[in-house]
Amino acid sequence: MDELQGISWHDGRVRILDQTRLPEELVALEISDYQGIIRAITGMNVRGAPAIGIAAAYGIVLAVWSLEEADRPAFLQRVNQASEALARSRPTARNLFWALERMRAALMKLLSRPLREIKLALLEEAQRLHADDIERCRAIGRFGAALLPQTTSIMTHCNAGAFATGGFGTALGVIRTAVSQGKKVQVYACETRPLLQGSRITAWELAEEEIPVTVLCDSMAAYAMARGLVQMVIVGADRIARNGDAANKIGTYGLAILARHHRIPFYVAAPLSTFDLEIRSGDHITIEQRAAAEVELCGGMRAVPEGVPVLNPSFDVTPAKLIDAFITEKGIIRPPFEESLTSLQVKA
C-alpha cells in the first residue's frame, strides 16, 4: 500500500493536502513561504500535533530557501522571525515547539558553513524529522496492536491518523497494524464537532483502506458504550504533562469519563515528542480558543442564533487517573506515569 501522506517537499515548495476539503476533495496547497505555512496551520489545512510540527520544520526551510549567499546577515534574523511566528500559530501541541527546537539545534551546529550548505542541511533535518515521525508511528502501531484481541471494536475521537502525523498515524497506526496482522477491528469514529475531523478525516482514511468504520455524533458515545458496542477507546494527544494528564481534541475528556464508567480501557497513543516533562500537570497546558464561527455554523448553515455567545476551546485535558496506558514508540507506559516516564528517561 502506498503511504498516505499529508505533507511533502517538492523543489522549494511544501505540498500540503488540504484537510479542510476532505472528504469532498483530495486537493493540495503548494506553499513557497513560511507565512503560507502559518496560514495553513491556523486555518487547519494541516492539523494534528505531529503534522503541524513537521509543517513548521519545513516552514523554517522555506524561510531561508530563497536567501542569496550575500544575504547572510539577514539569515539568522529571518530564522528567528520565522521560528517565533510559527510558534505563535497554535499553542497547545507540544510537537510544534519540539520541532522548532530541533531545527534550531541543527542550525546551531551549522552556523559557520556556507549558506547553501546550511539550507540543504536544514532541509535534511526537516526530512529526517518527518521520516522519523513515520517510524515512531509504526512502532506505536506494533506496541499498540499487541493490546488488541483477535476481534475488537475501538472508539476513537478526532483524527490521529496518517494526515495528523508524518504518515501512518498514532491511534490509527495501532488500528492499521492490527488489521495488517489479520485482526478484525470495527472502528467507531466520533464526528468531533465543531470541525468534524472524525467524520471527515478519520472515516475517510479508514474507508480508503476498507477498515470497517461507523461514524457517530459525539452525543451518541454513551449510548454506544452502554450497548456494548465499544471494547476500548484509543485517542491521540497534543501535549502530555509529566503526571500523565493529556490534552487532546475537545470531547476526549468526556469519552474518558464514559469509558471509566463503563469499565472500558482508555488508551492514549502518542510519540515521545508529544510529552512535555517540564510541566507538572495538565493545569499548565495552554488550551487554544478558536473562532466562534466554527461553532455558530454547521454544514455551512447558522446553528446558533445571532448574538448568542458560544464556547470554542479546541482541546480539553483528560486527567491521568482516567488513562489506562500510553502507547508510545518505546512501549506501553502504565501508571504510575510519573515514575514510569522518569524510569524510561523520556528523551524525544
Active site members: 238
Q: How far is the CB of 93 from ligand MRU (least distance, A)?
A: 6
Q: Which stretch binds ligand MRU (CB under 6 A): 55-63, 99-107, 236-244, 336-344?
A: 236-244
Q: How far is the CB of 73 from ligand MRU (least distance, A)?
A: 36
Residue from the set 17, 49, 162, 189 that interacts with ligand MRU by CB under 6 A: 49
Cell of residue 103, nine digits: 531545527
Residue with cell 482508555: 266
Distance CA 333, CA 337 (A): 7
Cell of residue 290, nine digits: 478558536
Identify residues 256-315 at the interface with ligand MRU (CB under 6 A): 314
The closest residue (CB) to ligand MRU is 236
Residue with cell 475488537: 152
11-38 residues labelled b (16+ CB within 10 A) or e (exposed): eebbebbbbbebeeeeebbebebbebbb
Identify residues 121-150 at the interface with ligand MRU (CB under 6 A): none
Q: How far is the CB of 92 from ligand MRU (least distance, A)?
A: 8
Q: Which stretch binds ligand MRU (CB under 6 A): 48-56, 224-232, 291-299, 337-345?
A: 48-56
Q: How many CA atoms lie within 13 A of 60 on its CB side?
A: 34
Cell of residue 75, nine digits: 539569515
Of 199 and 314, CB closest to ligand MRU? 314
Q: Does 48 bind ligand MRU (CB under 6 A)?
A: yes
Binding mask 154-173 for ligand MRU (x = CB under 6 A): ----x-x---xx----x---
User: What angle (nearest 5°) sits at the alpha carbon of residue 156, between those of residues 152 and 161?
Assistant: 105
Identify residues 72-101 at the interface with ligand MRU (CB under 6 A): 93
Nearest CA to 47 among 21, 24, 65, 13?
21
User: What angle (nearest 5°) sits at the alpha carbon of residue 261, between those of residues 255 and 266?
Assistant: 50
Distance CA 14, CA 123 (A): 11
Q: How far is the CB of 306 from ligand MRU (least distance, A)?
A: 26
Biggest CA pair distance of the chain: 68
Residues in contact with ligand MRU, counted by CB under 6 A, come to a total of: 17
Q: Does 328 bind ligand MRU (CB under 6 A)?
A: no
Q: Does 249 bind ligand MRU (CB under 6 A)?
A: yes
The residues of the shown chain that bind ligand MRU, judged by CB under 6 A, are 47-50, 93, 158, 160, 164-165, 170, 197, 236-238, 248-249, 314
